[in-house]
């Protein structure tokens, strides 16, 4: 029945053969092929199944082996796994029992060594296996303990005999030469002999202890390495199983749910939004359909490839679908043919060659959970973090990465139709998230007054400036202007909360985009970013929420929805959908795609309301659209990006040293530079120095503000009260409520008050302390469009750069 085997197989050898396994009362014992290897007993229906299908496995390290009769024996792990087995003969049963006991003993030793190596995450075993393992561990500990006791005893004896020897030597010095001399010398000799014997015993004990420690140390290191490799394999296997499970689930749903397009021959199911919604989409408000492609009154004219901005561009022009309504041709075609700044002329100008690589990320392991477990519910910006969790870029540089796909705004500036322009602006809002999909590293928190310039006028026609305008809460102002007719500005403050399993980052503030030719003014806000698997597993990032892109001049609006990732969802991951409507709410375009890959648009030909759908009873809007066309597609990451923090081509150049930048520029930040070079320990020390320097400067600034405000406080109140244009703000303090009268001159003068005019959302607030800090290149004003207080670029930076005059910049590094 089984292959011939020696009665006592060598430990570690694979032992296999046929055994009969009890299945149930109907089938009884069934013949199965069993394989014993590396402390695991596995079985298969046939030998052919060994390569692909294992029917069951039991770990012998925690198993109990019991013999029932001459041929039967039972293997159980004390839990849900119990194998009732029967051999063909008593000799065969004994062979298996011997092999199993040897494998079990070896598994005991390996598991005990692995547990003692410091892995506290392994749960305690139960049953007889745990007792045997613990007994072996206790035996090792007793041996080590006895050696330690021997060392302690020898130490006491050495101290005792050493003291006696010292006394004898002292007495010998005071004895006169005579009859006592020989006696004293004999005593000294005896005690010296005892001291030598004791010292030799201690040396031998130390030698034994060292040999034993070295032996066990090698075994523990080997077991620890094996455990680490096994854990990596298990994590990879679990990830693969999760992906396979998700794939099978989607395949099952696709096979059991009849596609709606089959019930309507006029509907062609194409793309992520072209298929008809089914039961899994009942929570969606809108459904998207493709219109018939043979509609005669609509003609699509693709743009000539020679007019593309550059070869392999990721931005596709919208054709002249809107232009046909008034008999005009595509604006892209006209503008690119006549624009003197077109790529044909620009390519003749030599541009600076930017770097394409940075030093590879060092393989330094650090447990994120060991730090984050004490930060649940806290504000992330107030938690000191080592650079091991960072990437060698600051938050200002990450903010500048929003311009990765600036070509979308270039094309939007050439559009005649505001609705067509809205499609490009919406695609630009989505494209800013494409660089975050693998970027799990935390950017450096900028120091107060830190700046970052991105001058790409020669290559791309725009220049950008960021400045950290507030530290608590952290806020950064950004201003970018292009020679091709658009301006982008924003002030972003980050609110972050750690919830244990995930980290949520909520950007606060509005983004403004103004086009010079049309004077269209667009605003939108960012969605929430979530970092998952903080405790265990591989970190991954998701974007979720809704964005309303509003054209304040025309009333056009684009509502974008970022669908959160769901394990049970049938939709594509990282899905984004949107609808472009005019001021009357009529839909003109449907947008679809993913925030990490591409966005497409489809022109709406007809829309209708259907019957009630979904649990909430809302009617769904059905859009009949033309074939979807591509708006934007992500540029592939450079080669080796996984070793360079998954930086994009633009991100690799952001921290490259440049001449003429301000002394406050992020490129000059020493801890960030050290981290990029792989010198993380030095970077951590430098980071602590910079943070302490910033605290010292802030405390000094507060003291100066208090000294300036205290002596003349009463006089200022009287003077302010006499001003005809006074403005009174009611402010609550911690104890009482008081009226504070501030003139317009005081609010904008050189002595800022202890109370700010407006808080981050336009409400009067009291600052936590007096601080006379003012940003260098931005000033806080009330935005005339949104009514929100925001920092707007006041000018002077690029002029200072041309003159090389940075005398007004603070020394923050």
DSSP string across 300-317:
--PPPGGGSSSTT-SBPP
Beta bridge partners of 766: 755
CA atoms within 13 A on the CB side of 518: 23
Residue 34: how many CB atoms within 10 A of its CB? 19
613/282 Cα distance (integer angstroms): 6
- pLDDT for 114 equals 59
Q: Give the pLDDT confidence of 181-207 residue by residue, as tens digits.
A: 777 777 777 777 777 787 777 777 787
Mean pLDDT of 597-611: 85
- pLDDT for 793 equals 95
Cα 572–chain centre separation: 21
DSSP string across 547-559:
EEEEETTT--EEE
pTM for the model: 0.56
- pLDDT for 191 equals 76
Peptide bond just before 137 cis, omega within 30 deg: no
User: Are 813 and 669 in contact, with CB atoms under 8 Å apart?
Assistant: yes
80/8 Cα distance (integer angstroms): 29
Lowest-pLDDT range of 28-32, 225-229, 384-388, 600-604: 384-388
Helix (H, G, I), strand (E, B) or coil at 528: strand
Instruction: Give the dihedral sign, CA 545/430/417/606.
Output: negative
462/706 Cα distance (integer angstroms): 42
- Pull the structure tokens for residue 99: 């092999």
User: Are 425 and 343 in contact, with CB atoms under 8 Å apart?
Assistant: no
Q: Give the pLDDT confidence of 675-730 residue by residue, as tens digits.
A: 999 998 898 889 889 988 988 988 888 888 888 777 655 444 444 333 433 333 33
Radius of gyration of the chain (CA): 38
Q: Give the pLDDT confidence of 536-549 residue by residue, as tens digits.
A: 778 889 999 999 99
Residue 4 pLDDT greater than 50, yes or no: no
- pLDDT for 7 equals 40
Max avg pLDDT among 213-227, 345-359, 390-404: 390-404
Segment (H or E) for 451: strand 451-456
Q: Give the pLDDT confidence of 628-645 residue by residue, as tens digits.
A: 999 999 999 999 999 999
Mean pLDDT of 341-364: 70
Segment (H or E) for 732: strand 727-732
pLDDT band at 303 (very low <50, low <70, confident <90, very high): very low
More confident residue, 656 or 285: 656
Lowest-pLDDT range of 102-111, 228-237, 332-341: 332-341
- pLDDT for 234 equals 84
Mean pLDDT of 294-302: 31
- Pull the structure tokens for residue 415: 């559009």
- pLDDT for 156 equals 72
Lowest-pLDDT range of 36-40, 488-492, 802-806: 36-40
More confident residue, 493 or 3: 493
Mean pLDDT of 580-589: 93
The closest of 394, 391, 421, 396 to 408, measured between CA atoms, is 421
User: Are 806 and 663 in contact, with CB atoms under 8 Å apart?
Assistant: yes
- pLDDT for 366 equals 59
Percent of the chain's residues with pLDDT above 90: 32
Residue 415 pLDDT greater than 60, yes or no: yes
Token pair 């934007």: residue: 632
Residue 191: how many CB atoms within 10 A of its CB? 19
Lowest-pLDDT range of 372-386, 393-407, 665-679: 372-386
- pLDDT for 27 equals 85
More confident residue, 174 or 382: 174
- pLDDT for 132 equals 52
More confident residue, 754 or 9: 9
More confident residue, 657 or 113: 657
Angle between helices 128-174 and 179-256 (to 10 degrees): 160
In SS3 terms, 337-392 reads as HHCCCCHHHHCCCCCCCCCCCCCCCCCCCCCHHHHHCCCCCCEHHHCCCCHHHEEE
CA atoms within 13 A on the CB side of 410: 27
pLDDT band at 383 (very low <50, low <70, confident <90, very high): low
- pLDDT for 195 equals 77
The closest of 48, 40, 159 to 111, measured between CA atoms, is 40
Q: Give the pLDDT confidence of 103-150 residue by residue, as tens digits.
A: 888 877 777 665 554 444 444 444 444 455 556 666 776 677 777 777
More confident residue, 112 or 788: 788
Token pair 């062609």: residue: 268
- pLDDT for 178 equals 62
More confident residue, 160 or 809: 809
556/522 Cα distance (integer angstroms): 9
């Amino acid at each position: 029945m089984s292959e011939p085997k020696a009665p006592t197989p060598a430990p570690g050898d694979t032992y296999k053969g046929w055994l009969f396994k009890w299945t149930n009362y109907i089938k009884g014992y069934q013949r199965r092929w069993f394989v014993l290897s590396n402390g695991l007993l596995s079985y298969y229906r046939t030998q052919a199944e060994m390569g692909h299908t294992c029917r069951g496995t039991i770990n012998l390290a925690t198993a109990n082996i019991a013999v029932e009769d001459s041929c039967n024996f039972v293997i159980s792990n004390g839990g849900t796994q119990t194998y009732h087995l029967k051999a063909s003969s008593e000799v065969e049963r004994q062979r298996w029992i011997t092999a199993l006991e040897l494998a079990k003993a070896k598994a005991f030793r390996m598991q005990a060594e692995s547990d003692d190596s410091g892995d506290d995450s392994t749960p305690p075993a139960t049953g007889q296996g745990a007792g045997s393992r613990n007994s072996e561990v206790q035996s090792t500990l007793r041996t080590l303990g006895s050696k330690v006791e021997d060392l302690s005893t020898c130490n006491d004896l050495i101290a005792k005999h050493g003291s006696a020897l010292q006394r004898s030597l002292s007495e010998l010095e005071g004895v006169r030469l005579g009859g006592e001399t020989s006696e004293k010398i004999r005593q000294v000799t005896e005690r010296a002999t005892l001291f030598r014997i004791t010292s030799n015993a201690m040396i031998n004990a130390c030698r034994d202890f060292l040999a034993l420690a070295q032996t066990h140390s090698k075994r523990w290191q080997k077991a620890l390495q094996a455990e680490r490799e096994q854990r990596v394999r298990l994590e990879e296997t679990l990830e693969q199983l999760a992906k396979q499970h998700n794939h099978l689930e989607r395949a099952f749903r696709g096979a059991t749910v009849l596609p709606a397009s089959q019930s309507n021959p006029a509907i062609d199911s194409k793309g992520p939004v072209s298929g008809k919604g089914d039961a899994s989409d009942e929570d969606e408000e809108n459904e998207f359909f493709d219109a018939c492609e043979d509609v005669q009154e609509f003609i699509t004219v693709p743009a000539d490839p020679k007019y593309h901005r550059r070869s392999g561009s990721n931005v596709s022009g919208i054709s002249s679908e809107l232009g046909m309504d008034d008999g005009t041709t595509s604006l892209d075609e006209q503008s690119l043919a006549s624009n003197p700044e077109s790529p044909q002329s620009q390519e003749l100008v030599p541009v600076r060659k930017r770097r394409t690589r940075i030093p590879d990320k060092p393989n330094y392991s650090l447990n994120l959970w060991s730090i984050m477990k004490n930060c649940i519910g806290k504000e992330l910006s107030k938690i000191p973090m080592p650079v091991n969790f960072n990437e060698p870029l600051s938050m200002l540089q990450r903010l500048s990465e929003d311009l990765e796909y600036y070509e979308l705004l270039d094309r939007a500036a050439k559009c005649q139709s505001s609705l067509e322009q809205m499609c490009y602006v919406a695609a630009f809002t989505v494209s800013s998230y494409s660089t975050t999909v693998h970027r799990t590293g935390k950017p450096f928190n900028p120091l107060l007054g830190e700046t970052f310039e991105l001058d790409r006028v020669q290559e791309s026609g725009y220049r950008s400036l960021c400045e950290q305008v507030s530290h608590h809460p952290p806020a950064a102002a950004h201003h970018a202007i292009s020679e091709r007719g658009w301006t982008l500005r924003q002030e972003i403050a980050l609110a972050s909360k750690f919830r244990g399993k995930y980290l949520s980052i909520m950007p606060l503030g509005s983004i403004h985009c103004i086009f010079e030719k049309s004077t269209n003014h667009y605003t939108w806000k960012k969605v929430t970013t979530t970092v998952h698997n903080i405790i265990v597993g591989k970190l991954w990032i998701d974007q979720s929420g809704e964005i309303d892109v509003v054209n304040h001049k025309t009333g056009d609006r684009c509502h974008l929805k970022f669908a959160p990732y769901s394990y049970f969802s049938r939709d594509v991951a990282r899905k984004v959908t949107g609808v472009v409507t005019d001021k009357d709410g009529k839909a003109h375009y449907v947008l679809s795609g993913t925030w990490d890959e591409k966005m497409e648009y489809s022109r709406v030909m007809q829309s209708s309301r259907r019957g009630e759908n979904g649990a909430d009873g809302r009617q769904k809007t059905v859009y009949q659209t033309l074939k979807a066309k591509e708006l934007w597609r992500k540029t592939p990451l450079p080669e080796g990006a996984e070793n360079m923090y998954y930086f994009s081509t633009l991100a690799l150049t952001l921290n490259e040293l440049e001449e003429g930048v301000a002394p406050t520029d992020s490129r000059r930040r020493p801890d960030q530079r050290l981290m990029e070079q792989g010198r993380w320990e030095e970077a951590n020390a430098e980071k602590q120095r910079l943070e302490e320097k910033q605290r010292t400067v802030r405390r000094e600034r507060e003291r100066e503000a208090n000294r300036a405000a205290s002596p003349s406080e009463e006089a200022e109140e009287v003077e302010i009260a006499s001003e005809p244009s006074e403005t009174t703000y009611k402010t609550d303090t911690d104890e009482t409520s008081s009226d504070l009268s501030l003139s317009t001159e005081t609010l904008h003068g050189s002595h800022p008050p202890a109370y700010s005019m407006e808080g981050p959302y336009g409400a009067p607030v009291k600052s936590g302390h007096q601080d006379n800090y003012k940003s260098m290149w931005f000033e806080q004003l009330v935005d005339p469009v949104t009514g929100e207080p925001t920092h707007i670029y006041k000018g002077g930076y690029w002029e200072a750069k041309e003159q090389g005059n940075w005398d007004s910049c603070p020394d923050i590094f």
